[in-house]
Structure 1
Amino acid sequence: MAKTPAQRAAKHGEHASPPRTAATNPSTQRTPAKAANNANMILIAGAAASLFLFWYLHVLTLSQMTDLSGGLSMPDSMVFGFDVAHIEALRAAMDAAANGQLQFLHKTAGMLFPLVFGITSMTMIAVNVAKKPLRRIFWAFPILFAIVQIWANFAIDGLLSAQTLDAGAVAMASALVVASWFLLVISLATLGVALFLGRRRKPSPAAS
């Protein structure tokens, strides 16, 4: 049975060595600096993925889709909305194969971009905004953007594949597209404010 420190001192004198403890590996200890670096790496990767998906969706692919529509813009790219005449012209210009390509784009990059952007934005806000009420308000904008953007994708696909065109459905889809662009701009502005608040919270090197 192991002896107590008092028993070891009585037997070996005052210079009895204390019991050895398991050695710890300092390289495995999780410090606040390492945690912050890990969070920053995740945020950088998410921001890069969001930027790439936006470029792929809106700059590259949707602009190329105009080759299949006789030069007509895709509804997703029309920041200020569209009307019945534009959708009717698209329906006449795009065949089933072109509609299928647009639907596939909506189900891939059109789904990934709002989700990745929303998750990255919420993480960035959580890291930089300390006050919970303000954080929840800021979270609302990227969440709404993701919901509205995905909803707009399905609404546009429904317009182009419907047998008969409904003016109310066109107005709804147009409003969703305008709202998605508005929410994207507001979300980016919110991220700027969150980063500013985060920089103010961090102590300067001179003060630390």
Structure 2
Amino acid sequence: MSKPRNKKNTARPALRAAPAPVVNQSTQRTPEQARGNGNVIVLAAVGATILLFWYFHLLVLNQMSDLSGGLAMPDQMMGGYSVADIEALRAAMNSDAIGQLNYVHKTAGMLFPLFLALTTMLVVNLHTVRGPVRWVLWAVPMLFAIVDLWENAAIDALFNGPLDPGAVSLASTLTTISWVLLFATAAVLVGVLIASFITTFKAKWSEAGLS
């Protein structure tokens, strides 16, 4: 009789458990670290906004008076302006000067309100809780950006074609409102930052047992 053949061992080896993923503890950020990173971004944004304000309102628009016989640009007339003011500017400025003003409005004049609005909204988002108060504080910089950009377009329209008293009145009103909203936006930005600093200072003071 022939010997029975040995059956091959067909049992599969036990599957090894997959090693647990390695967690890099250095990538896990605490809320304090995340807030610190946000503050760095805020600091850079505030610096850029201040630089843009200086460049647009204090440097470029002041230099534009060299092209208008010493007359101020409409953007700088906080209290508004009349048809006579615009007629004087139109008579003093040639096509190159008008084109320069239009270019300024489309560059620094557009970047400044957008930077200020976004920076203020970022600060409000980081340092206020969700709710109606946050939306109210957000509304101020958003309105400023909308009105300021609208004002730029309205002023540029005053130098093209026949002068319309209604268009002058609209642009003048937008300029005044824009300045009011600019101060209101700056107040929101500074106020939220100061309130956040005071809250953080009090918390650190209490943690140190000095209260």
TM exceeding 0.5: yes
In structure 2, distance between residues paired with 1:169 and 1:126: 37
For residue 191 of structure 1, the aligned residue among 189, 192, 200 is 189
Structure 1 counterpart of 2:23: 24
In structure 1, distance between residues paired with 2:25 and 2:138: 37
Cα separation, partners in 2 of 1:35 and 1:151, compared to 1, 3 Å: same
Structure 1 counterpart of 2:34: 35
Question: Aligned AA for 2:184?
Answer: I
Using the TM superposition, name which of 55-64 and 19-28 deviates more: 19-28
Structure 1: which 5+ runs fail to align? 5-18
Identity among equivalent pairs (%)? 47
Structure 1 counterpart of 2:163: 165
Output the TM-score relative to the length of structure 2: 0.85
8 Å CA contact 1:148, 1:176 repeated in 2: yes
Structure 2: which 5+ runs fail to align? 1-13
Question: Aligned AA for 1:96?
Answer: S
In structure 1, distance between residues paired with 2:27 and 2:107: 39
8 Å CA contact 1:129, 1:197 repeated in 2: no
Aligned-pair Cα RMSD in Å: 1.8
Using the TM superposition, name which of 190-199 and 122-131 deviates more: 190-199
Specify the structure having the higher radius of gyration (Cα): 2
Question: Aligned AA for 1:119?
Answer: L
Deviations 1:131-186 (A, max 9, x none): 4101101111100000000000000000012x211111101100100100000111
Output the TM-score relative to the length of structure 1: 0.86
Give the superposition deviation at 1:201: 4.3
Tell whether 2:61 aligns with 1:59. Answer: no
Cα separation, partners in 2 of 1:2 and 1:207, compared to 1, 3 Å: farther
How many residues were matched structurally? 193
Deviations 1:51-92 (A, max 9, x none): 011000000000000000000000001111111111000001
Structure 1 counterpart of 2:3: none
Structure 2 counterpart of 1:174: 172
In structure 2, distance between residues paired with 1:157 and 1:44: 33
Deviations 1:103-152 (A, max 9, x none): 00000000000001101100101111114101101111100000000000
8 Å CA contact 2:120, 2:188 repeated in 1: no
